[in-house]
Amino acid sequence: MNIKKLAVLGLVVATLTALGYGLASWFMGKPEQVKQGTTELEKTLAQLTAEASANGEDYAVGDRLPAGEPKKAAEFDPAFPELQWDDLMPADWDPMAAFRGMNIAELQDNDPKAQEALDTMRKAWNDAPVNPKLVGKKVRIPGFAIPVEQSDKGVDELLLVPYFGACIHTPPPPANQIIHVKLSEPQPAVGAMQAYWIWGEISAQKFSSELGDAAYLITASGIQPYED
């Protein structure tokens, strides 16, 4: 299943979210915690959305970055070959399994069936399997950044996602489509949804945040703004 189809599926999830129990409970995970946890989350989302709008340039929600041009490959260390986002998903894994047999058009606002489907799908996506063949490999991959940890010197950690708007304008992708990145040195100016190349060693390591769960970790050797 390619990323473009996955982005469309994300919009379906967004529709279910609106029909079910609201965006805040999608992120927070437990409906009973919505009232308590929404305020801080909404502030974070509002800030990230503002940054994403400022940094988005010509990107629209759902846009993904083209693969690197061969003529530019010389700019990078050949020890870090380019990794495709599709390769992060095991070939036999079906991210649409939770939606089989469901007619979304028949659902109404606050429909408990939508909430039930979201709960099932959310668990399946948060537990999305990794591709074991990639573990321990040195890789290079382009994506959109979402800062999650920063110090006085800049951003220390970020989430890397395959398409514009993921985790901010749309619900999070499956965990095997979110990479937690730990930078070797803080970066002073990493804005939400800015496009970057990241390279380093990839491992299978779970990372949970309010913005989404990552199934992979890249301990980055380098980061560079993406230019197509």
Strand partners, 204: 216
Q: What is the pLDDT of residue 168?
A: 83
Average model confidence (pLDDT) across the chain? 78
Q: Where does residue 96 rank: exposed (0-12), middle (13-18), buried (19+ CB within 10 A)?
A: middle
Question: How many percent of the chain have pLDDT more than 90?
Answer: 42
Residue 66's nearest CA partner among 141, 168, 1, 139 is 141
Backbone angles phi, psi at 18, to 5 degrees: -65, -35
Q: pLDDT class for 191, splitting at 50, 70, 90?
A: confident
Which residues, 6+ apart, have CB-to-CB distance to 147 below 8 Å? Answer: 155, 157, 158, 190, 191, 192
- Structure tokens that stand for 198 in this block: 């990241």
CA dist., res. 200 & res. 117, Å (int): 36
Provide CB contacts within 8 A for 20, sequence distance 6+.
26, 110, 111, 114, 115, 117, 118
| Closest C-alpha among 177, 226, 173 to residue 199 | 226
The domain ranges of the chain are 3-225
Q: Does domain 3-225 have CATH number 2.40.50.870?
A: yes
Written as six digits, the tokens of 10 are 């994300």
For the stretch 2-29, pLDDT in tens is: 555 555 565 555 555 555 444 334 433 4
Q: How far apart are CA 121 and CA 124, in angstroms?
A: 5
Report whether pLDDT(197) > 90: yes
* Per-residue pLDDT at 104 exceeds 70: no
C-beta separation of 145 from 187 below 8 A: no
**Which pLDDT belongs to residue 30?**
41
